[in-house]
Amino acid sequence: MSIQQTTIQALGELFSDQASAENGAEKEAETGGEVDKSDQPRQNGIIEQDYRTKGFHLDVKISADQLVRASQILFELGYFLESITGVDWIKEEQLETDYDFSRYDFDLCRVVIRVRTPRTDPHLPTITTVYTGANWHEREAHDFFGIIFDGHPHLIPLLLPEDADFHPLLKDFKA
């Protein structure tokens, strides 16, 4: 079984109560982009992406409370955390946080985990308990987007000045 299938199966535990998980994952056509975001919000679940056009294999959307569990699953499967970043979807009043995972071995599989939080009150659990290296990435996301990682040991500005109270990567930020 390829690592991609193993990962889908392992992550499937998160969606056991949802229809999409019963089939393992919903598959997309090779050419397919994402579900048009403006019309209907994407459901939580796993999408297999075409690596050649997208650059990653699995696109997982989960809710905030599943985050720690999901990262635990990936940690146990031997994934390492590449980066944590935000995307400000200002039209939908939502902040997306993307977690990029990759592997050290030759079973190539890049996993992206997306979590969406309301823009006004972005709270996420920290995954520093699983990936120690998430510390700086979360601090950076906090700097740039104002996402608050609950339980983070040291959530102070990292790249911005110590007294920064602005979040420059928000779309409504004007310098």
**Residue 63 C-beta: closest distance to another protein, Å:** 19
Please identify, using beta-carbon distances, which residue of 69 and 103 lies nearer to another protein: 103
Q: Which residues contact 2 (CB under 8 A, 6 or more apart)?
A: 107, 109
Rule CB under 8 A: say whether 112 interacts with another protein.
Answer: yes
Encoded tokens for 4: 């991609």
Judged by beta carbon, residue 106 or residue 121, the one nearer another protein is 106
**Alpha helix positions (H), the chain:** 3-12, 19-22, 51-54, 67-76, 134-145
If we measure between CA atoms, which residue out of 117, 167, 115 comes closest to residue 142?
A: 167
Verify binding: residue 132, another protein, rule CB under 8 A: yes
Instruction: Name the minimum Å distance from CB 34 to another protein.
Output: 6
- For residues 28 and 47, what is the distance between their CA atoms, to the nearest angstrom? 7
Task: Please pick, from the candidates 5, 27, 78, 166, the single residue that binds another protein as defined by CB under 8 A.
Answer: 78
Output 78 or 118, the one with its CB closest to another protein: 78
